[in-house]
């Protein structure tokens, strides 16, 4: 587990304890905010990159065909049992280039910006 993921887990646990919100509910909220954020920030040319974000409950869904029904993907988060990992993935070959800012539509990327935003929200709420 990377340091950023470890700190993110610590932040979620701290927030859950301070607010009394169940970790499972909080995890779903964070996953939904993260998924929504990365999808909305993904640059659109043909729409394939945006349509290729996927949700996996307990397992990385792996490469899939682009699916433009973002709402049905987000609904998968509701099925996640407490303490189960929720994976948000995208396997288009150029997703790393987009994350590295190779699009004028998202010069700062999508994932890191979104994760930092969600982490900041959690920190603000725990103060």
Question: Does the reported pTM lie above 0.75?
Answer: yes
CA distance 84 to 89: 16
Three-state secondary structure call for residue 86: strand
Q: Where are the domains of the chain?
A: 3-116
Residues 42-59: tens digit of each pLDDT: 999 999 999 999 999 999
Q: What are the φ and ψ backbone dihedral angles of 27, each rounded to 5 degrees?
A: -60, -45
pLDDT above 80 for 125: no
């Amino acid at each position: 587990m990377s340091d950023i993921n470890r700190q993110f887990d610590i932040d979620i646990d701290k927030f859950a304890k301070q607010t009394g919100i169940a970790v499972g509910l909080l995890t779903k909220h964070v996953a939904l905010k993260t998924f929504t954020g990365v999808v909305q920030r993904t640059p659109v040319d043909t729409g394939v990159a945006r349509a290729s974000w996927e949700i996996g409950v307990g397992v990385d869904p792996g490469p899939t065909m682009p699916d433009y029904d973002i709402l049905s993907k987000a609904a998968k988060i509701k099925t996640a049992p407490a303490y189960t990992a929720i994976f948000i993935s995208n396997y288009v070959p150029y997703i790393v280039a987009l994350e590295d800012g190779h699009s004028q539509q998202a010069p700062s990327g999508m994932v890191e910006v979104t994760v930092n935003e969600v982490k900041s929200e959690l920190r603000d709420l725990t103060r």
